[in-house]
Homo-oligomer: A and B are copies of this chain.
Amino acid sequence: MPIVRVEMWPGRTQSQKAELARVITEAVVTIAHTTPEATIVIFEDVAKENWAVGGVLASQSD
């Protein structure tokens, strides 16, 4: 039943996401005592143009 949502800047490869999904699911199953089949992991790529810290877009603070 857990739903895990990971928001990151773009640039992770499919294999990084696959590895993250595997490890996070394993952690949730082991620590929170759920089943893998009931665990959903969703990735959302958020462009640096759409992400600000300290009032400045990350695309402008590089």
**Inter-chain contact A20/B27, CB cutoff 8 Å:** yes
Q: How far is the CA of A26 from the CA of B19 in the complex (A)?
A: 13
For chain A, the count of residues having a C-beta within 8 Å of the partner chain is 49
13 interchain pairs, CB-CB under 8 A: A2-B7, A2-B8, A3-B7, A3-B40, A6-B28, A17-B57, A18-B56, A26-B55, A36-B54, A37-B54, A41-B52, A41-B55, A43-B50
Q: State the oligomeric state as a number of copies.
A: 6
Q: Which residues between 6 and 33 of chain A lie within 8 Å of chain B, taking CB atoms? A: 6-9, 12, 14, 16-28, 31-32
| Residues in B neighbouring A40, C-beta threshold 8 A | 3, 51-53
Residue of B nearest to A18 (CB): B57
